[in-house]
Structure 1
Amino acid sequence: MAFTRATGKHRRPGRTKRTTTHAVGVAALTTTGVIGTLAAPALAAEPSAEPSVEQTGLTQAVSIGDSVAAQVDAQAVAQEQAAAEAAAKKKAEEAARKKAAELAEKEHAAKARAAREAERKRLNTFVAPIAGSYVSTGYKSGGSLWSSGSHTGVDFHAASGTSVHAVGSGTVVEAGWGGAYGNNIVIKMNDGTYTQYGHLSSIGVSVGQTVTPGQQIGISGATGNTTGPHLHFEARTTAEYGSDIDPVAYLRSHGVNV
């Protein structure tokens, strides 16, 4: 009996058709993404197919982030250190300024004390009434020239016109004509004693005026009861005549070399 090939759906496709169909299926799967999904395990299983650090960029990104953070931290630390150093410097400068001010104040106070002490010493210093002179007639010398019978002071050699100086600090209590003394000046000294300057050609101070050691108070001459120009100098316990004391001893007791 002769057999014939069946037709329709029971016919086995040929090789060419199966290949075409497989290709179409692969294409369809590729389009739907199934191939990519199924292929992922195969790719992950292969070490050479594992993504590199350079491909992902993850480690690099972390590294850059850490570097920036480190820089920010370093800047913060540097700023804090700079602020601390600036504060310390300011504190040191303030301390130095305060110390310098205190030192300057102490030096000023020391200079002021020294100046006051020097002025005190100067005001308590005594000098000779005629600079570079000498005693030509001594104290208590006798003779008819003096009404009391003896010299109540000493005479310092001095040509007319020689400067006469206050021997120490005091206040003028008399300045004018003094009879036998001619033009004379009497000064109450700061220690309570009195000094007199007689026979002056001119007077340079007035009553009530304060004088200091070595200050010029008049000019020597020959006014009053005298035989020639000189300075009559007396030291007294009061302003009145007759209270005289040894003028040389008086000057020497105050450090004057006479």
Structure 2
Amino acid sequence: MAFTRATGKHRAPSRLTRRSAQVVGLAALATTGVVGSLASPALAADTEAAQVADTGLIQAVALDATLAEQIDAQAHAQRQQAEAIAAAKAEAAAEAKARAAKAKAKAEAERKAEARAKEVREEKARAARAAERARLNAFHLPVAGSHVTTGYRSGGSLWSSGSHSGVDFLAPSGSSVVAVGAGTVVEAGWGGAYGNNIVLRMTDGTYTQYGHLSSIGVSVGQSVSSGQQIGLSGSTGNSTGPHLHFEVRSTPDYGSDMDPVGYLRLHGLSV
């Protein structure tokens, strides 16, 4: 009777299966460095299995080297990228700093320019005020281009006091009569022997009087500037002909008269 091999799970592994297992075992042992000492006699005798084991070891070493190179390359690329980012940030920071410095310099220049412009405006304003003060404080002859025909304290029967309390300026009828300086009108109207007359209280506290006018152009309480026309010359009141009677007083009252020529010269006029 012939015997047959049992099938199923009791079947013995084939030679090819045994060899495959041996190759796998050898490759695993090769990675731990104990290939030679633990090899079985069957594996040593099996040339094909040894060749397969040697090929697996070389492949494992080659893979390790390639992976290391890839890691190094990746690390190098990351370093380069980090350095590039750092350089870009540094450049951006430098540009921002430069812009800030430029903006600060521009703002400072604008501030200085504005300060200088303000100084110039203030200087012009001061100059204008000074010019205005000078104009207001400047004195004028009561009749432009005229001269004195009868002096102060001249004697004679023409004056009730026996002497001239002011000076007479040559002034044809209708000549413009101006305030010799800035002041306020305290009298404007008929003044008896003075005829139509005006009295101004000057800014320095003295009083000036303009007599024998043909017309009056201001009213009491009005402020007048130096050189402003206040009336026209004539021959009203106690007068022998057209002229301007001009007096300077320390008070608004008759009898407090001062030398008109000396007063005008004190204020810079050539009389």
User: Structure 2-normalised TM-score?
Assistant: 0.72
Residue 190 of structure 1 and its aligned partner are, at CA, apart by: 1.5
Say whether residues 1:135 and 2:124 are aligned partners: no
Residue 212 of structure 1 and its aligned partner are, at CA, apart by: 1.6
Task: Please state whether the residue corresponding to 1:72 is helix, strand or coil.
Answer: helix
Say whether residues 1:244 and 2:260 are aligned partners: no
Correspondent of 2:239 among 226, 232, 235: 226
Say whether residues 1:100 and 2:116 are aligned partners: no
Task: Please state whether the residue corresponding to 2:214 is helix, strand or coil.
Answer: strand
Give distance in 1, aligned partners of 2:65 and 2:232.
119
Say whether residues 1:198 and 2:198 are aligned partners: no
Give distance in 2, aligned partners of 1:251 and 1:44.
124
| Deviates further, 215-224 or 167-176 | 215-224
Any residues of structure 2 matched to 1:14-93 within 5 Å, and which?
Answer: 35=51, 37-40=53-56, 60-93=73-106
Correspondent of 1:215 among 228, 233, 238: 228
Residue 99 of structure 1 and its aligned partner are, at CA, apart by: 3.2
Say whether residues 1:175 and 2:188 are aligned partners: yes
Give distance in 2, aligned partners of 1:124 and 1:36.
125
Deviations 1:44-91 (A, max 9, x none): 99xxx99998xx655554444333222211111111112222222333
Q: 1:139 to 1:38 in 2, by over 3 A?
A: same
Give distance in 2, aligned partners of 1:247 and 1:28.
146
Say whether residues 1:188 and 2:204 are aligned partners: no
Letter in structure 2 aligned against 1:192 = G
Alignment root-mean-square deviation, CA? 3.3
Residue 37 of structure 1 and its aligned partner are, at CA, apart by: 4.2
Give distance in 2, aligned partners of 1:36 and 1:156.
145
Give distance in 1, aligned partners of 2:58 and 2:113.
85
| Structure 1 residues not aligned, in runs of 5+ | 1-21
Residue 39 of structure 1 and its aligned partner are, at CA, apart by: 1.8
Give the equivalent residue in structure 2 for 1:253: 266
Deviations 1:219-246 (A, max 9, x none): 1122222222221111111112222121
Q: 1:42 to 1:102 in 2, by over 3 A?
A: closer
Say whether residues 1:157 and 2:170 are aligned partners: yes
| Deviates further, 106-115 or 31-40 | 31-40
Task: Please state whether the residue corresponding to 1:239 is helix, strand or coil.
Answer: coil
Letter in structure 2 aligned against 1:82 = E
Deviations 1:110-139 (A, max 9, x none): 444333333333333222111111112222
Give distance in 1, aligned partners of 2:65 and 2:131.
96
Letter in structure 1 aligned against 2:135 = R
Give the equivalent residue in structure 2 for 1:11: none
Residue 36 of structure 1 and its aligned partner are, at CA, apart by: 5.2
Give distance in 1, aligned partners of 2:65 and 2:261.
120
Letter in structure 2 aligned against 1:121 = A
| Structure 2 residues not aligned, in runs of 5+ | 1-14, 28-50
| Deviates further, 167-176 or 132-141 | 132-141
Give distance in 2, aligned partners of 1:223 and 1:140.
21
